[in-house]
Amino acid sequence: MITLLEARNVGKRFGGLQALTDVSLTIRKGEVYGLIGPNGAGKTTFFNVLTGAYIPDGGEFVFNGSELPSGKPHKIVGRGIARTFQNIRLFRDLTALENVMAGHHIRTKAGLWGILTQNRFTREEERLTTERAYEMLKYVGIERFAQTVSKNLSYGDQRRLEIARALATEPQLLALDEPAAGMNATETAQLKVLIEQIRHDGVTVMLIEHDVKLVMGLCDRVAVLDFGRKIAEDVPAEVQRNEAVINAYLGGGKHAA
Amino acid sequence: MNELVSAVPWLGKRNPMAARWLIIILAIAAPMVAMLFGRSWVRILDFALLYMMLALGLNLVVGFAGLLDLGYIAFYAVGAYTFAFLASPHFDVHLPFWVVLPLGAAFAGMAGIMLGFPVLRLRGDYLAIVTLGFGEIIRIFMNNLNYPINITNGPQGINGLDSINLFGWDLARNLQVTEDFSINSLFLYYYFFLACVVGSIIFIQRLQISRIGRAWAAMRDDELAAKAIGINTRNLKLLAFSMGATFGGVAGCLFGAFQGFVSPESFSLMESIAVLTMVVFGGMGNIAGAIVGAFALALLPEVLRDVAVPLQQTLFGHVLLDPEVLRMLLLSLAMILMMLLRPAGLIPARARYAHPENLHRSAAK
Amino acid sequence: METLIQQILNGLVIGSVYALIALGYTMVYGILGLINFAHGDVLMVGALTALQTMMFLMGVAPGMSPIAMLTIALMVAIPVCMMIGFTMERLAYRRLRNAPRLAPLITAIGMSFLLQTLAMIIWGRNYHTFPQLISTTPMQPIEGVFVTPVQIFIIIASALIMIGLSLLVNKTRIGRAMRATAENHRVASLMGVDTNAVIAFTFVIGAALAAVAGVMFASNYGIAHYGMGFMPGLKAFTAAVLGGIGNLGGAMLGGIVLGLVESLGAGYIEHMTFGFLNSSYQDIFAFIILGLVLIFKPTGLLGERVSDRA
């Protein structure tokens, strides 16, 4: 198995709160990797540090064999990491299609001059962007809403659109922050199919999720965070039996380190 | 253009072609109609076109990129003073119009970048204050840089600016077509400014429907999410800022040449606010809004002078509110009420950032 | 040496006024994340209302003692400004709390110009002489250094007000509610804080401070007019940012520091630039400071919060 992402001793502190402590983990190419833990365990912080929204206090990420620049989101996306947000963050006044097209920004090149003169290259690139975006909408199953302004989409469709937008950046690693939150059973089942499809098409998936059933049914491996520390990392079946994990979730034991 | 077409009441939706022609005819015939009311109205239309350029430029910054720039008029000033320095008896330099215009645009654009670099990391409201401060600093310099070396000639301003000269064709002179028929200089300026506005619209429309326009809109709607899809927000903000400033600079050059003199009082904070109100009033983020807003609010003071004053005299026997006060009152109320009641503006056309028709074409293939 | 002491003294006086205004900005910002552009104009309304009151009193009771007159003028100006603060919040800002972020900002700018225009309608465009009820005859505590009683009054009064405000915010129930609301609206309202009332209260207190500052400002310069609030408003905002916006102590510190920088700068700019720039450039110091702070230390001198509440 080839390693895609390696986090080495990542730490992040907010004032007096140690949100992440020495978190190290390895994600292999082609797997679905789950990141779980009780509320406030540092999962989203981990995503934020990984994608450059926050600068870590210590540690580093190695992606595809070389270190990721910290705190430079656009460079990180350029290297092939895309994410979605726990509370959906779409470009509300843009249509579904335009949202996905915006997602393609980093893979396009047209410059000011080309745009103002509308030269052949720019027109061709624009046409391709439009087509790809439409394909992407089809891929997640919402192409009939291509022209709908995104704030008017249903909740489930917004989630799908956000995934489509992230995929439009052509990532190798897709980081999903609680994609099933607020979904009903049918929608969750459809989401599961979609994620499996994404994995099948060669994108590695990292997943924060509360829906234990979804995580256990979907992930190849799962890491558990508690109070900013990794307390377990294993295949789902093993993690479920892990004592420290059970304690963390039930709140029974003391701070399990 | 399409936005403008669909903004035409009633006709716009039913018969876009007719609406399009209506707009073109109106644009061409406007100065002739204005002439019926007197030459000063043609002059007012000329100024309205300059305001349109300013509103279009500011709309790029505020409406597209979501950056509130309260010192926008400073870039207008940079353009106007560039023209005054390089084409007037003040330093006795008279460079040709086609040299000064790009210089004015470039200086304004550079001023935009210089101001933008330090402040664009900031949140929107800080940006508003810093740009406001920048506008004031420029004004303070314009007012005071006449001592110990006279650069700006202080509050008196600079007189006798060269007129616009298009390859030997002086727009300030009436065009003698035949022996007894000539076209007034104000008309010449009108059509030249109109061409500039049309050029700007095409320019901006192309930007809007491009990867840059979408990135701006994305940044405006949700900066964090924009970063998360790989948009280099700092560079794009700088671009928006300097592009907007460039428009301001071009408009400033035209203004200086047209008016023939420049002085600090043309570039007060109130002017920045007036241009902002035009954008807000018409509808932030759409081109038609900027055009309609600029047109309506540029004509407002003149209409007030011609209508409100006599009206007050007949109603109350004397003038309670002079037109200038009334203008400020209406501008400030427009800003507040628009935000409260109709935040999308008078023309809430949804701006388009893509050509979805590309799809149908390729799907049909 | 005398110049230095003199400039420091002048700086302290004007700095105290900035600090009072800055408190209003910072309280509102701390609680709503809104720059209330109209805050400086509330100051102007305070000064002009006080002026109007004094004129009235001089007409009906010419023999009244200056202190009584000043007190009454303040007693009128403060409630008027409080009403304005309350009305602005209630009619405009409250409805825009969940609007896109530019909307409240643009409304605030509109508010600022609306107040100026209304003042222009009521009081005209002219500069009015502001009666200097406290003596402005300079005293010379040190040879070559001048200080007027009104300046001493300004420094002492602002110090007292700031102490009072600190007590209000840190020791009282409503103060605790304010701090809770600033921390997190939703949680505060879940804990039973009437956040709407707290926000309205914040505006009202800020406006009251602005009224006092307006009277001080006008007394110090002996002049009042409809546009007088703009510059001090802008500078006080700078002071709030300098100290760390959202932080009360910071606003006070920022005001004083800004006052000192400005006053010393104005005193020495001619030497520093070899006569190229003179004291008419005094106003640019605030902006330069604002720029520098925002670039190098956006959290301000004492600030903690750089929250990205969009």
> Is residue A253 scored above 60 in pLDDT?
no
Band (pLDDT 50/70/90 cuts) for residue B19 is: confident
| Contact residues, chain B, for C234 at CB < 8 Å | 129, 132-133, 136
Q: Is the CB of residue B133 less than 8 Å from the CB of residue C234?
A: yes
- The answer as to whether B31 is a domain residue is yes
Sequence-distant (6+) residues with CB within 8 A of B268 are: B73, B139
CATH number, domain containing residue C168:
1.10.3470
- Same domain for A161 and A241, yes or no, is no
Average pLDDT over residues B226-242: 93
| Contact residues, chain B, for C105 at CB < 8 Å | 68, 124-125, 128
- The answer as to whether B260 is a domain residue is yes
Q: Which residue has the tokens 């305001």?
A: B51
Average pLDDT over residues C136-152: 84
What pLDDT, on a 0 to 100 scale, did the predictor assign at position C228?
A: 93
Mean pLDDT of chain C: 88
- The answer as to whether C309 is a domain residue is no
**Other CB atoms within 10 Å distance of the CB of residue C160:** 10
| Number of domains forming the structure of chain C | 1
Last residue within a domain, chosen from A149, A170, A191 = A170
> Is residue B120 scored above 80 in pLDDT?
no
Token representation of residue B62: 């505020």
What pLDDT, on a 0 to 100 scale, did the predictor assign at position A46?
A: 94
- Same domain for A54 and A129, yes or no, is no
Strands B93-94 and B165-166: unpaired
- The answer as to whether A85 is a domain residue is no
**Other CB atoms within 10 Å distance of the CB of residue C245:** 27
Strands A58-63 and C128-129: unpaired
> Is residue B60 scored above 90 in pLDDT?
yes
Kindly state the helix (H) or strand (E) to which residue A24 belongs, with its residue range. strand A17-28
Token representation of residue B100: 């000064």
What pLDDT, on a 0 to 100 scale, did the predictor assign at position B360?
A: 65
> Is residue B318 scored above 70 in pLDDT?
yes
- The answer as to whether C101 is a domain residue is yes
- Same domain for A155 and A135, yes or no, is yes
The residue that leads in pLDDT, B12 or B67, is B67
Do residue B335 and residue C281 have CB atoms under 8 angstroms apart? no
What pLDDT, on a 0 to 100 scale, did the predictor assign at position B362?
A: 54
Q: Could you tell me if B129 lies within 8 Å of chain C, comparing CB atoms?
A: yes
Indicate the SS3 state at residue C5: helix
- Same domain for A1 and A74, yes or no, is yes
pLDDT digits (tens, 9 = 90+) for B161-215: 998 888 777 888 888 777 777 788 899 999 999 999 999 999 999 999 999 999 9
**Other CB atoms within 10 Å distance of the CB of residue A196:** 14
Sequence-distant (6+) residues with CB within 8 A of A11 are: A18, A20, A21, A22, A23, A56, A57, A58, A59
- The answer as to whether C117 is a domain residue is yes
Amino acid at A66: S
- The answer as to whether B189 is a domain residue is yes
> Is residue C277 scored above 90 in pLDDT?
no
Average pLDDT over residues B137-148: 87
> Is residue B308 scored above 90 in pLDDT?
no
> Is residue C186 scored above 90 in pLDDT?
no
Expressed as residue numbers, the domain containing B68 is 2-355
DSSP C68-87: HHHHHHHHHHHHHHHHHHHH
Q: Which of A51, A115, A146 sits opposite B210 (nearest CB)?
A: A115
Q: Is the CB of residue B223 less than 8 Å from the CB of residue B120?
A: no
pLDDT digits (tens, 9 = 90+) for C90-135: 999 999 988 877 889 899 999 999 999 999 999 998 999 998 877 7
Alpha helices in C139-283 (DSSP H): 149-171, 173-183, 185-190, 195-221, 230-243, 248-272
Band (pLDDT 50/70/90 cuts) for residue C79 is: very high
Q: Is the dihedral of CA B105, B106, B109, B111 positive or negative?
A: negative
> Is residue C309 scored above 60 in pLDDT?
no
HSE-CB at A138 with a 13 A cutoff on CA atoms is: 7
Expressed as residue numbers, the domain containing A124 is 90-170
What pLDDT, on a 0 to 100 scale, did the predictor assign at position A27?
A: 95
- The answer as to whether B360 is a domain residue is no
Amino acid at C171: K
Do residue B353 and residue A101 have CB atoms under 8 angstroms apart? yes
Last residue within a domain, chosen from A170, A198, A228 = A170
> Is residue A170 scored above 70 in pLDDT?
yes
Band (pLDDT 50/70/90 cuts) for residue B15 is: confident
Do residue C102 and residue B137 have CB atoms under 8 angstroms apart? no
Burial of B38 (0-12, 13-18, 19+ CB in 10 A): exposed
Q: Is the CB of residue B271 less than 8 Å from the CB of residue B255?
A: no
Token representation of residue A166: 């992230």
| Number of domains forming the structure of chain B | 1
- State the maximum Cα–Cα separation within chain B, in Å, rounded to a whole number: 72
Q: Measured between CA atoms, how close is A159 to chain B, in angstroms?
A: 14
Confidence (pTM): 0.89
| Contact residues, chain B, for C96 at CB < 8 Å | 339-340
Token representation of residue C294: 């925002």
What pLDDT, on a 0 to 100 scale, did the predictor assign at position B286?
A: 85
Q: How far apart are CA B125 and CA C34, in angstroms?
A: 8
> Is residue B225 scored above 80 in pLDDT?
yes
Band (pLDDT 50/70/90 cuts) for residue B43 is: very high
The residue that leads in pLDDT, B285 or B45, is B45
> Is residue B145 scored above 80 in pLDDT?
yes
What are the Cα distances from residue A168, in Å, to A172, A180, A188, B78? 11, 20, 22, 41
- Mutation target among C294, C297, C307, C309 for the B interface, most CBs of B within 10 A: C294
Q: How far apart are CA B209 and CA A193, in angstroms?
A: 34
Q: Is the CB of residue A109 less than 8 Å from the CB of residue A125?
A: yes
- The answer as to whether A100 is a domain residue is yes
Q: Which of A78, A126, A168 sits opposite B210 (nearest CB)?
A: A126
The 3-class SS string of chain B reads: CHHHHHHCCCHHHHCHHHHHHHHHHHHHHHHHHHHHCCHHHHHHHHHHHHHHHHHHHHHHHHHHCCCCCCCCHHHHHHHHHHHHHHEECCCCEECCHHHHHHHHHHHHHHHHHHHHHHHCCCCHHHHHHHHHHHHHHHHHHHHHCCCCCCCCCHHHCECCCCCCEECCEECCCCEEEECCEEECHHHHHHHHHHHHHHHHHHHHHHHHCCHHHHHHHHHHHCHHHHHHCCCCHHHHHHHHHHHHHHHHHHHHHHHHHHHCCECHHHHCHHHHHHHHHHHHHHCCCCHHHHHHHHHHHHHHHHHHHHHHHHHHHHHHCCCCCCHHHHHHHHHHHHHHHHHHHCCCCCCCCCCCCCCCHHHHHHHHC
CA A3 to chain centre: 17
- Least confident piece of the model among B119-128, B215-224, C103-112, C252-261: B119-128
- Interface B–C counts its CB contacts (< 8 A) at 130
| Number of domains forming the structure of chain A | 2
What pLDDT, on a 0 to 100 scale, did the predictor assign at position C208?
A: 96
> Is residue C307 scored above 60 in pLDDT?
no
- Mutation target among B62, B115, B127, B129 for the C interface, most CBs of C within 10 A: B129
- The answer as to whether A70 is a domain residue is yes
Token representation of residue B111: 């001023």
pLDDT digits (tens, 9 = 90+) for A58-96: 999 999 999 999 888 999 999 999 999 999 999 999 999
- The answer as to whether A248 is a domain residue is yes
Chain C neighbours, 3+ Cβ pairs < 8 A? B
The residue that leads in pLDDT, C309 or B169, is B169
pLDDT digits (tens, 9 = 90+) for A21-34: 999 999 999 999 99
What pLDDT, on a 0 to 100 scale, did the predictor assign at position B171?
A: 85
Do residue C241 and residue B126 have CB atoms under 8 angstroms apart? yes
Average pLDDT over residues C153-179: 92
What pLDDT, on a 0 to 100 scale, did the predictor assign at position B172?
A: 82
Q: How far apart are CA C232 and CA C10, in angstroms?
A: 15
Where b means 16+ CB within 10 Å and e means fewer, B197-226 reads beebbebbbbbbbbbbbbbbbbbbbbbebb
Q: Which of B118, B123, B335 sits opposite C110 (nearest CB)?
A: B335
Q: How far apart are CA B95 and CA B165, in angstroms?
A: 11
Alpha helices in A154-211 (DSSP H): 155-167, 185-200
Q: How far apart are CA C35 and CA C105, in angstroms?
A: 7
Do residue B331 and residue C113 have CB atoms under 8 angstroms apart? yes
Do residue C234 and residue B129 have CB atoms under 8 angstroms apart? yes
Q: Which residue has the tokens 């500078």?
A: C235
Q: CA angle, C104 as apex, C103 and C107 as ends, to 5°?
A: 90
Mean pLDDT of chain B: 88
- The answer as to whether B37 is a domain residue is yes
- Least confident piece of the model among B85-89, B148-152, B165-169, C201-205: B165-169
- Same domain for A25 and A142, yes or no, is no
- Least confident piece of the model among A87-91, A208-212, B258-262: A208-212
pLDDT digits (tens, 9 = 90+) for C112-122: 999 999 999 99
Strands C223-224 and C128-129: antiparallel
Q: How far apart are CA C232 and CA C40, in angstroms?
A: 7
Q: Could you tell me if B150 lies within 8 Å of chain C, comparing CB atoms?
A: no
> Is residue B101 scored above 80 in pLDDT?
yes
What pLDDT, on a 0 to 100 scale, did the predictor assign at position B284?
A: 87
Average pLDDT over residues B4-29: 82
Expressed as residue numbers, the domain containing C67 is 2-296
Q: Is the CB of residue B44 less than 8 Å from the CB of residue B31?
A: no
What pLDDT, on a 0 to 100 scale, did the predictor assign at position C280?
A: 76
What pLDDT, on a 0 to 100 scale, did the predictor assign at position C296?
A: 82
Do residue A108 and residue B228 have CB atoms under 8 angstroms apart? no
Average pLDDT over residues B149-162: 90
Last residue within a domain, chosen from A170, A201, A229 = A170
Sequence-distant (6+) residues with CB within 8 A of B123 are: C308, C310
> Is residue A200 scored above 90 in pLDDT?
yes
- Mutation target among A54, A68, A98, A147 for the B interface, most CBs of B within 10 A: A98
Do residue B353 and residue A103 have CB atoms under 8 angstroms apart? no
Band (pLDDT 50/70/90 cuts) for residue B345 is: confident
Q: How far apart are CA C254 and CA C243, in angstroms?
A: 4
pLDDT digits (tens, 9 = 90+) for B275-305: 999 998 888 888 988 999 999 999 888 888 8
What pLDDT, on a 0 to 100 scale, did the predictor assign at position C308?
A: 37
First to last CA, chain C: 49
Residue of chain B minimizing CA distance to A113? B207
Token representation of residue B341: 């009641």
Indicate the SS3 state at residue A23: strand
Q: Measured between CA atoms, how close is C160 to chain B, in angstroms?
A: 30
Do residue B133 and residue C113 have CB atoms under 8 angstroms apart? no
- Same domain for A205 and A254, yes or no, is yes
Q: How far apart are CA B319 and CA B315, in angstroms?
A: 9
What pLDDT, on a 0 to 100 scale, did the predictor assign at position C304?
A: 57
What pLDDT, on a 0 to 100 scale, did the predictor assign at position B365?
A: 43
Q: How far apart are CA A36 and CA A211, in angstroms?
A: 9
What pLDDT, on a 0 to 100 scale, did the predictor assign at position A251?
A: 64
- The answer as to whether A214 is a domain residue is yes
What pLDDT, on a 0 to 100 scale, did the predictor assign at position C156?
A: 93
> Is residue C303 scored above 70 in pLDDT?
no
Q: How far apart are CA A2 and CA B13, in angstroms?
A: 58
> Is residue B1 scored above 80 in pLDDT?
no
